[in-house]
Amino acid sequence: MIEKKNSVSNIIGKVSLVLVLVFSLLYCSKSIYASSSNFNVSPEIPENQVDKNLGYFNLVMSPESQQTLSFKVNNATSKSITVEMAFAHSTTNGNGLAIYDSSKATKDSSLKYNIEDFVDIPKKEVTIAAHAQVIMTAKVSMPKGMDTGILAGGFSFKEKEGNQESSSSKGVSIKNEYRYVIALVTQQNTQKVSPQLRLNEVKATQVNSRNVFAANLQNISPTYLQDMNATATVKGVTNSELKYSFENSDMKMAPNSNFDFAIPVSIKGNIGDQSSKALEAGKYHLSMTVYGVKSATGAYETTVNGKSVNYEYKWTFEKDFEIAGEKAQKLNNSDPTVHYKEPINWLMIIGIALILIILLLIFLIFSSRRKKENHQK
């Protein structure tokens, strides 16, 4: 009898161990993306810098003049690395932030002079020995006819792909990525230029697979639109009960750029057990107010986070638009929050199945033992 009990215990123990291992594999296999710096970059500020305390280039240049900019690039590791250098004109991303990304730098229709045409990088990659420093350079020129306003872009530095460290251990993969960006602003003088904002198309689209109304805003002036604060409301005309609102008080538009200001229709983030109301076809109306450039003496006052703030500029927009039935259906079909279904919890199903298997094995073992005991009697 003791041997039989030990046999049962051993079987139960082994099955339980398998169960623990399965759960461990299900929970522990994942990827982690880490960011670490193997190098650092610092600009060598020239004499024609507007403000020498800035960590980027802000230069006053004569028409058709040319100069060379230098960057100190330091390898902080104990092995050699290769660093790549690129340049892109400034654009505005979907979050309303000025960026310098060459892969997404499309030219705005209002951009007369693209700074990319006036920047040349003689050597776009260098290999740096361990704990060593090199100087990377770029040639910058000023176009004739740029009497007012600025040209803006940014130099980016990153470790060459393939040289970046990556590791994998115990089901966890780690990838290290790092990029330095140093802005470049050039102008013929420091005369102030006022930003000019336009509202272009308003349409229904998606951001991260969620339905939104997108109001395209365009800064047609060669200057940054600082401290941008926008509030938008979309009301249904066909269905007057529909209303969607959104605001963002922390934006900055690049010179001569545009972006889509998104007003959410569907819920964002982790959807949990929630679902969104389907986007309805029909006619809508957009009302939008935008403030820009904070100033204690600004003529336009509004409230931001419960505090009174004054701005130098203010724009108001009103626009009617329509969403076709086919477009609404297409967006609704691809928005996972509109037709939400509780996801299948495979982990729970596997766990229950394994528990049932254990119980079945226990039952079979005891049934077999009883049959043997009855047979012996």
pLDDT digits (tens, 9 = 90+) for 43-64: 999 999 999 999 999 999 999 9
For residue 341, pLDDT beyond 70: no
Using only the alpha carbons of the chain, give its radius of gyration: 31
What residues does each domain of the chain span?
A: 33-187, 197-334
Residue 151 class from Cβ within 10 Å (0-12 exposed, 13-18 middle, 19+ buried)?
Answer: buried
Q: Which of 292, 66, 98 is nearest to 186 (CA)?
A: 66
Q: What is the DSSP string of 42-105?
A: EEE--TTBS-TTSSSEEEE--TT-EEEEEEEEEE-SSS-EEEEEEEEE-EE-TTS-EE--GGG-
Instruction: Tell me which H or E stretch contains 27.
Output: helix 2-28
Q: How confident is the model at residue 349 (pLDDT cuts 50, 70, 90)?
A: confident
342 and 273 Cβ atoms separated by less than 8 Å? yes
| DSSP 8-state code for residue 280 | P
Q: How many CB atoms lie within 10 A of CB 275?
A: 16
Query: How does pLDDT run across 268-323, given as a tens digit for each residue?
Result: 644 455 678 899 999 999 999 999 999 999 999 999 999 999 999 999 999 999 99
Average pLDDT over residues 160-167: 66
Q: Which residue has the higher pLDDT, 133 or 168?
A: 133
For residue 335, pLDDT beyond 50: yes
**What pLDDT is recorded for position 18?**
39
Average pLDDT, the chain: 86
Tokens of residue 348, six digits: 């729970």
**What pLDDT is recorded for position 244?**
96
Query: How does pLDDT run across 196-229, given as a tens digit for each residue?
Result: 999 999 999 999 999 999 999 999 999 999 999 9
**Distance separating alpha carbons of residues 79 and 16, to the nearest angstrom:** 48
For the ranges 160-164, 168-172, 198-202, 332-336, the one whose mean pLDDT is highest: 198-202
**Distance separating alpha carbons of residues 18 and 28, to the nearest angstrom:** 15
Strands 179-187 and 57-60: parallel
Sign of torsion, CA 95 97 102 107? positive
**What pLDDT is recorded for position 5?**
45
Place of tokens 């005309």: 237
For residue 6, pLDDT beyond 90: no
* Torsion angles phi and psi, residue 26, rounded to 5: -65, -35
**What pLDDT is recorded for position 168?**
53
127 and 85 Cβ atoms separated by less than 8 Å? no
Place of tokens 């998606």: 206
**Distance separating alpha carbons of residues 322 and 239, to the nearest angstrom:** 12
**Distance separating alpha carbons of residues 150 and 195, to the nearest angstrom:** 11
196 and 184 Cβ atoms separated by less than 8 Å? no
Place of tokens 């009855």: 374
**In Å, how far are 49, 84, 208 from 269, measured between CA atoms?**
43, 35, 9
Residue 270 class from Cβ within 10 Å (0-12 exposed, 13-18 middle, 19+ buried)?
Answer: exposed
Query: How does pLDDT run across 15-33, given as a tens digit for each residue?
Result: 444 343 333 333 333 333 3
- The three state secondary structure string of 284-336 is EEEEEEEEEEECCCCCEEEEECCEEEEEEEEEEEEEEEEECHHHHHHHHHHCC
**For 110-124, 174-188, 204-218, which range has the lowest pLDDT when averaged over its residues?**
174-188
The angle, 0 to 180 degrees and rounded to 10, between the axes of the packed helices 346-376 and 2-28 is: 170
Of the options 2.60.120, 2.20.200, 3.40.1280, 2.60.40, the CATH number for the domain spanning 197-334? 2.60.40
CATH class of 33-187: mainly beta
